[in-house]
Structure formats: structure tokens, C-alpha cells
A and B are shown apart, each in its own frame.
Chain A
Amino acid sequence: METIPIRVLFFGKAREIVKCDEQSERVPVDADYQRLFKMIFEERFPELKEIASSCMLAVDQHFCRPDSKVELYPNSEIAVIPPLSGG
């Protein structure tokens, strides 16, 4: 399976839990949302599991839903989005 390099970005509480802003990872080029979610919250950063149910992912600056079609490119940005609190 062909894999590509991507960047995982953390914000707010997620950033605090993993203690970093950004991590480089490799994922299968055809990974879907569920696969990315599992990879991030279970395999690579299990410490995020406690907040997983309240988080979303954004791929290349677009919000994604579990049924979203995800298109990944080299250096794509996957952001872990905990509950928003702007305003």
C-alpha cells in the first residue's frame, strides 16, 4: 500500500494533552475519515481517547464528517479540532 507523509495538527485541549503542535505521520494514500480517526485517536495518540468523542477532524482546512470523502496529498494537514470556544 502506497503511503504518503501528512502532518497532524493539534489545537486547544488536544494540543495540551499531546504536548505538541504538530506531528509528521505516514498514512495510506486512500485512507478514509474513519481510518484517520482511528490512527490518530487510538494508534498514534491514545492519550487523546478521553476527548475523542467531542473532537472532529479537518482535512486541508475543511471540516470533515465521518462519511466525508477524504482526498489526501503529500503534506496534507489533518487538524484535530476539539470543541470550539471562540467569541
Chain B
Amino acid sequence: MSSTKSLAPVLALVGCTNSGKTTIARCLVDTIQKLGKSAAMIEQDDDYLLAHQVEKVPRKHNPDDFYYHYDQISALNVGGLEKRLLEARQKADFVIIEGNMIAEIKEIMQLVDKVIFFTIDQKTCRRRREQRTYDPPDVEGYFDQIVWPAYLEHVRNAMSQARLDDRFVFVDVSSENDKATEKEVFEVIEAISRDFIKITSQTLELDAAMKLLRLPNCGATSIFIGTTRDTFDGKEVLQLSYESYDEMAYPELRKLCSSVRATFPTVERLIVWHRVGEVPVTEASVIIAAASPHRKDAIQAVSMAIDELKARIPIWKKESYADGEHSWKENEEWKVGKPKETSSSQIATYTKPQGDAKFFWLHELIQQLERLRKD
């Protein structure tokens, strides 16, 4: 009965054009249906306004000509999109909404439980964009003047929102190949369901971390909490602040989780949270935690993760002292061996639960969403 049915959880798939959002959304809908539940999919692109209602932007190299600017919210019928989402939430068991601007539409974000933001590098995006035909077709220069700058803006907005909003998850899907297989789709779902990454300006809460680590088959949970200190070399530290290159730190953190997982495959859950901005003395700047069936792997995984974080995650700490001086710190781990060249990010999966992995991880994702609902 629709009157007694609770509102369906809403998962938003957001991110770059050609990141594979739609393919992933369809694959999820399909699999949810195989679990015997109903899933609705809503595509932002079905709610574009007609061309004559879309803003025209003069072309850089030919000001007499113009582009229709489709990569901004004013090109959408937001009311229509919201209406479809509200209806779907009443009817289906699960709702997936996808589109490159969803995270910036306030009305929609009020209804969303979790946002998966797919990032890709320009090389991948450009190659894929060239292979597809668009309606209206891409005119020359549209990618350089509109598409890519708009994407960079969307990423920056999402990452700055994420500093205050725990619903955001980032996953980099840059790849040499252009057709994601179902297996790859579920590797993404697995990665975001077992590795929890966060760069936040909010207080890091250990309780919240513990909730994510509680698993019936894990007898060991290891936790490292880095807290800020009040002295350095005998000088009184008044204030500490961190800054992060989020666009790089998120994919690097994802890679870090993958390499920890490759080294300690029994680790079931991994948390890497970093606080940025001002962090008052005695408060946590970082929480790293791992859960595994037995203690050794959990302990060593945490140790490896913090060493790797200090060596290669683009985050910087400034200490301000009582004598008016300040200094930018330098991690020993960085001095010993600067990071090697990095390629496109890879998501590694190592353990397969009993039964079909894809159902397992989808189920896990749904459970996490439902738990969010209850909290």
C-alpha cells in the first residue's frame, strides 16, 4: 500500500559527463530488480529546457557565433525533475537519480540520501566525448570552453560541500577503456562500501567510525587517531590548520586504500578520515581504522595507511606559535622518498564474499543507505 510504504532511499550518481554514470545507474537498477525489489531511475538530462530557453554564450574565438550553455542549472526544468523524484520515492523501493549537476540543485539535494560523485581525468573524458554523438551535436570548442570548465566547477563545488556534508563519496573512474563491464561497476560499489574516505572541516567522531567498522566476522578493530599538540621544539603552538588539494587527495586516498587492501587482503573495512581547516589543540586531525577477522592485519593495515598518507596525500599543516611565528611542517615520510609518478587511479578488489559478490556489495550499499535513514 502506497500510504504505508516508507519513502525509498535516494542515491544520486553525479559527476563528469562520460564518467559512465548512466551505465552504472542502469546496472544498479537491473541488479536491484534481480534482488526482487523495485528500483526507479531518474535522468537529469530528460529535464532539459528547449534550446530557445537555454542561455547563449558567445564563442571565444568567434564572438559573432554562440554556444547554448547546457552545463548549468538554468538549462534544466528543476521543478519537473523534483516532481519525478518525489513520485518515484513514493512508488519504488529504491531510487537512483543521475546527472552532472544534481549535487548543485538544492531542491533535489534535500531528497537525496547519498551522493556518489564520479571524477575522471580530462584525457578519458575528451576521448569518450569525441566518440559519442550529442543532440544538439558538440560544436567545435564546446568541450574546451564549456564542458571541461563546467566540470571543474562542479567538482570544486562538490568537494567543498563534502567538507560539511557526509553524504558525499568520491570515486575516480578514469580508465584506458571506454566500456565499463558489470564487473567493473561492482568493483566501484565494493570500493565505496568497504573503504570510507572523508576530507572534512567538521569534528572527527570516533563513534561514527566505530559504527562503520562493526561486522560480525571481524574480531579485530585497530584505530589510529592523530591529534594536534600544543608544543613544538619547546614553542607554544597557538593554532594548527590544514589545507588539502581535494581534487587530487580524494583519488590518491582511494589508491591508498587499494594498496593497503592489496597488502592486507583480510581487511574488511578501512576508514581514512582527515580534518582540514583549523583544528584546535587536542582534537583529532586524522582517524585511520581497519577491521579484520584477526588482529595482525588490522594493526598493520592501519600502520601502513598512516605512513602512506603522510608520504603521498596532498595535505599541508601550518603551525602558528605564541611568539608570532609560523611554519609549514614537513613529514619525514615525504623526505625519505617522494611519491613515485602516479597513473590513473585503480580500484583493487581482493576478497570475494561467499555467493555472488555483486549482490553482496549491492546489498551492503543498500543497508548503509537504510542505516543512514535511521540515524
Contacts and interface: CB of A to CB of B under 8 A. Distances in A.
B329 A75 contact: no
Contacts of A81: 245, 314
A61 B316 CA distance: 16
Interface residues of B, number: 44
Contacts of B341: 62-65, 68
B286 to A, nearest CB: 5
A86 B313 contact: yes
A85 B122 contact: no
Given A61-B251, A63-B342, A84 B286 contact: no
A58 interface: yes
B contact face: mostly helix, strand, loop, or mixed:
mixed
Contacts of B274: 86-87
A73 B286 contact: no
Interface in A41-87: 54, 56, 58, 60-65, 68, 71, 73-77, 79, 81-87
B226 interface: yes
B226 A83 contact: no
B172 to A, nearest CB: 9
Range for the number of chain A residues in contact with chain B: 20 to 34
A33 B131 CA distance: 30
Interface in B241-276: 242-245, 247-248, 251-252, 274
Interface in B288-324: 306, 309-318
A18 B302 CA distance: 36
Nearest to A69: B341
Q: Please indicate which of the listed interface residues A62, A65, A75, A87 has the most CB atoms of chain B within 10 Å of its own CB.
A: A87
Interface in B97-155: 121-123, 126, 144, 148-149, 152
B122 A11 contact: no
A35 interface: no
Contact of A83 (B286, B331, B342): B331
Contact of B340 (A63, A77, A79): A63
Contacts of A76: 122
Given A63-B342, A75-B152, A85-B317, 8 more contacts: A9-B245, A11-B316, A58-B314, A61-B247, A75-B144, A84-B316, A84-B334, A86-B286
